């Protein structure tokens, strides 16, 4: 692990993902690893969203495109067993609800 990886714990994972995608081998990142990272990231994002007055930017300076966003959103919805009606209700909820 490099000094940069120690300073930024996500760096090693992000580098592994970038290499796997660049090489056309996404299965080089185990599903269990992806699941653990996604679950932790979603829980942390939600906790920050609930604590802050302004919505935190989910991607910062590392944006995803529409296809990537919608693909993940649909998978999240299926995993949480929610439909578009449920999504609309949550989308419009006030911060204090």
Average pLDDT over every residue of 7-15: 87
Cα dist from 15 to 11, 86, 92, 94, whole Å: 6, 35, 36, 37
Average pLDDT over every residue of 32-43: 96
Same-domain pairing of 53 and 96: no
pLDDT band of residue 97 (cuts 50, 70, 90) is low
Which range of residues forms the domain containing residue 70? 64-97
Residue 87 has a pLDDT of 86
Same-domain pairing of 29 and 53: yes
Q: What is the reported pTM?
A: 0.78
Residue 4 has a pLDDT of 54
Same-domain pairing of 58 and 69: no
Same-domain pairing of 56 and 90: no
Same-domain pairing of 17 and 54: yes
Same-domain pairing of 58 and 70: no
Same-domain pairing of 1 and 48: yes
- On whether the CB atoms of residues 63 and 57 are closer than 8 A, the answer is no
């Amino acid at each position: 692990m490099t000094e940069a990886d120690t300073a930024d714990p996500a760096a090693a994972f992000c580098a592994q993902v970038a290499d796997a995608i660049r090489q056309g081998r996404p299965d080089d990142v185990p599903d269990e690893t992806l699941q653990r990272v996604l679950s932790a990231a979603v829980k942390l994002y939600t906790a920050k969203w609930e604590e802050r007055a302004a919505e935190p930017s989910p991607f910062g300076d590392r944006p995803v495109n529409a296809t990537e966003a919608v693909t993940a959103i649909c998978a999240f919805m299926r995993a949480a067993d929610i439909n578009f009606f449920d999504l609309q209700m949550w989308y419009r909820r006030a911060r204090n609800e």
